[in-house]
Amino acid sequence: MKKIIPNILLSVFSALIAIFIYSNFFENERVIVEKDLPTKYTNFAESSKSEKYVVAAPTDFVTAANKVTSSVVHIKSLTKSYDWWGGSNYASSSGSGVIVSDDGYIVTNNHVVEGASELEVTLNDKRTFPARLIGTDPTTDLALLKVDQKSLPTLKFADSDKARIGEWVLAVGNPFSLTSTVTAGIISAKGRNIEILEDTYAIESFIQTDAAVNPGNSGGALVNTNGDLVGINTAIITKSGRYEGYSFAVPANLVRKVVSDLREFGKVQRGLLNVRIEDVNATMVEELGLPSMEGIYIRLVMPGGAADEADMKNGDVIVGINDKKVKSIPELQEIIGRFRPGDKISLSYIRDGKNNKTNIVLKDKFGSTEIASNSASENSEMRNLGVELRNLTKDEKSRIKSNGVKVVSIMRNSKIDRTNMEPGYVITKVNEKSIKSVEEFITTMKSIKKGTKVMLEGFYEDYPDEYFYAFSR
């Protein structure tokens, strides 16, 4: 007996050490279950032998939910309208938003705040603050608001490129004004285009989930189980107007870029390839000798654009950006949408059945590599005149042999509109003073006294004659 007891104690001690080592140094992420299947549930007799099944470890949403709810806000949007007798009326709508900086910046959807006269934000702790609109981007349906508060709880951006199909996610928002509602689902697909944004330069590369999203969730957070921001909930596909199993979010990597632009410039700085494209189809695979149906076919390279300057040709097939494979138009648009004019990218493409690579300096939709200004003084002057201007590109200056600024758009019933000026007009002089940039135009206009006559001199590129337009300052 004296010999047996020490052996028993030694065995128990060894077992405890083994349990301690396993618990502290090995992750218990999967459980392997061995189970004998009855023959009637199998197709083969040998299947009745012991088989192994992988069971996922339990997923805990509590930590993520607690982390996220304090950073998701309720947004009330008031729109003012007037009746025939001069009286005013307010219509209200609501949505959600996500605090992305502790000094009060909040990202939401453009459609939540579009046309709003007043914006009110309610935090999870029920404090309410007025908010001002910093900027919007209809091409991604995003907007940035600001409340004058400090030390607010924020969410960390996740790398949405690394989000995987089948991964658990939580949708947090205020559906039907039910504040701080959390629902769970998985990522069902990535790079979805559901054709809800009407802008010519719209980017639709949504993350699709089956987490329940309803009216009021728009602008809320889609997070992973760590509580990090994967996307901004934006849309649902439904016939009833309520959730039917499909919800869509703008990927966090795109959100981060838009927020950065709106915060720094007040408007989004979009770098473009300046091409017209379409997805590769089976006919193209056969005719162009492509290895698969993955890639984006260039139907037209715009003259003077970024792709044109990099010697891209009609019929080239884009297959990668910065050594990252791109398979479809939504993927390409999302990746390019993260860059600004003047940024350089590496583009992989197939031409005549051969793989090629080139560097491209992106331009904006006007063919410029410069960052577009959106200062408060410029905005005020432009709104007063009812015109949007831009600087001429190097190509335009070389082509037309002149300096000046180009008229991009004209607001209806504005001062400029009443002169019968048309978009495309190049302003070369203001009251006989030569103009080389938008900044010079603004400075010159500010130097002219109110009520004084202003004479604009310039031309249209396709017409040789000079045109003059006059109005009162």
Q: Which residues are catalytic?
A: 111, 141, 218
Could you tell me which of 92, 76, 101, 443 has the C-alpha nearest to residue 262?
A: 101
H/E segment holding residue 287: helix 282-288
* CA atoms of 444 and 271, how far apart (whole Å): 30
Partnered with residue 416 across adjacent β-strands are: none
Estimate to the nearest angstrom the gap between the alpha carbon of 38 and the chain centroid.
Answer: 52
Please give the structure tokens belonging to residue 85.
């007798």
* CA atoms of 201 and 262, how far apart (whole Å): 17
3-state secondary structure of 239: coil
Partnered with residue 81 across adjacent β-strands are: 89
Q: Could you tell me which residues come within 8 angstroms of residue 9 by beta carbon, excluding any fewer than 6 positions away?
A: none
Q: DSSP characters for 158-185?
A: P-GGG--TT-EEEEEE-GGG-TTEEEEE
Cβ(367)–Cβ(358) below 8 Å: no
Partnered with residue 36 across adjacent β-strands are: 50
Could you tell me which of 154, 156, 158, 182 has the C-alpha nearest to residue 61?
A: 182
3-state secondary structure of 104: coil
Angle at 280 between CA 275 and CA 285, to 5 degrees: 130
Cβ(81)–Cβ(115) below 8 Å: no
Strand intervals (E) in 327-386:
344-351, 354-361
10 Å Cβ neighbour count for 165? 11
